[in-house]
Amino acid sequence: MENIRENVIIEVKDLSIDFKVERGILRACDHTSFDIYRNETIAIIGESGSGKSTLCSGILNMVNVPGKVSSGSVTYYSEYQHAKVDILKMKPQQETEFRWKEISTVFQAAQNALNPVLKIKEHFYETILTHEPDAKQTDMDEKIKKVLGYVRLDTAVMEYYPHHLSGGMKQRVLIALSLVLDPKVIILDEPTTALDVVTQYYILQLLSNIQKGFKITMVFLTHDIAVVSNIADRIAVMYGGEIVEYGRTEDVLGNPSHPYTKGLVDAIPTLHDDVTQRKAIHGTPPDLTRNFAYCKFKDRCPVYKEGKCEASYEKTRKMYKTGEGRYSRCYTWAEKMAEQVRDI
Ligand SMILES: Nc1ncnc2c1ncn2[C@@H]1O[C@H](COP(=O)(O)OP(=O)(O)O)[C@@H](O)[C@H]1O
Ligand code: SF4
Ligand SMILES: [Mg+2]
């Protein structure tokens, strides 16, 4: 039996993904390491361009030209096979079997990718038949009705074409589709972006119920920290292609251990919001084609501006423990937190 790590279902280790662009090499995912635990909901948050979708494509071994994995590994620990799968080295046949059945995805803005000339049920048939070519029509219909039920859609939608559905309904169809082969892990890339607030809330509730009801592992990618607070067990924060902080949701939101996370938390609108007091993070994301000489967050960091950190790039090359199960890339903040613990 091979090295089973009970709690970990996916282990991302030192993953780097580069894009060849006119200006040079753009490193969208920079030596990223983290674990995803079985049956948890983990949210990966970060502003647009921070590398969330690229990381997702790496986890699925779906990095396309001009992108290239330049370092690292992604390991999947299968519960039933009692073996580990090196995702980045899978053969094409193994990949077809793996995708949807073990890890499935709802890609960013995938509503637009539904085929306009296919009925909704035909999208499901395609997916099922790719994996089970001998599946019977009646069995498939039963299965489709079941997963549509999970997302509270009437079975009548099976006969509809995509243009008959609202944005929120299309997104629910895609979530149902991702569940049709009973995957162990589902990755959702910005599943509520571009939906109105009420629909967002409804979909988050559905996802939360599905995760709890089916003991599925859910990876939730979003730029909107406010939407994850009620759904995620853990949060990983991305900035400039790196995870800069991770830990349990209540710890990360309640007591951030990186100035970028603090900035995100301070910008969350609240019920009694005074808009004049809400502080957006000033500045722009770093140019990822640069060779960095300083901490990537330096130009936007209030701690650096106050002269309390020299922003050493070298020191941000690793993560520092800032509490139980939580880590930060900000060495200055980590030192401050360690001092507070020593003072208690
Ligand atoms: N196909 C591509 N070609 C060139 N650069 C890309 C490509 N896809 C993503 N990038 C770059 O990689 C970085 C991360 O992008 P992305 O992973 O889409 O971030 P996010 O999902 O967090 O918005 C950005 O700087 C983006 O411009
Ligand atoms: S290492 Fe320094 S510059 Fe970078 S985020 Fe921390 S305090 Fe700011
Ligand atoms: Mg994205």
**Can you tell me the distance from the alpha carbon of 193 to that of 216, in angstroms, rounded to the nearest whole number?**
22
Which ligand 1 atom sits closest to the C-alpha of 48?
23
Residues lining ligand 1, Cβ inside 6 A: 19, 21, 26, 28, 46, 48-54, 66-67, 288
Q: Which two tokens stand for residue 145?
A: 């009705």
* Rounded distance from Cα 49 to ligand 1 centre (Å): 6
Counting Cβ atoms within 10 Å, is residue 151 exposed (0-12), middle (13-18) or buried (19+)? buried
Which ligand 2 atom sits closest to the C-alpha of 296?
4
Ordered by start, the domain boundaries in the chain are: 108-182
State pLDDT tens for residues 126-156.
Answer: 999 999 999 999 999 999 999 999 999 999 9
**CB contact set of 251 (below 8 Å; sequence gap of 6+):** 323, 324, 325, 326
Contact 271, 78 (CB under 8 A): no
* Rounded distance from Cα 222 to ligand 3 centre (Å): 8
* Rounded distance from Cα 141 to ligand 3 centre (Å): 33
* Rounded distance from Cα 145 to ligand 1 centre (Å): 36
State pLDDT tens for residues 26-70.
Answer: 999 999 999 999 999 999 999 999 999 999 999 999 998 899 999
Q: Indicate whether residue 36 lines ligand 2 (CB < 6 A).
A: no
How many CA atoms within 13 Å lie on the side-chain side of 48? Answer: 2
Place of tokens 């892990």: 185
Q: How does the average pLDDT of the chain come out, rounded? A: 91
Residue 1 pLDDT level (bands cut at 50, 70, 90): very low
**CB contact set of 189 (below 8 Å; sequence gap of 6+):** 52, 53, 56, 105, 106, 107, 108, 221
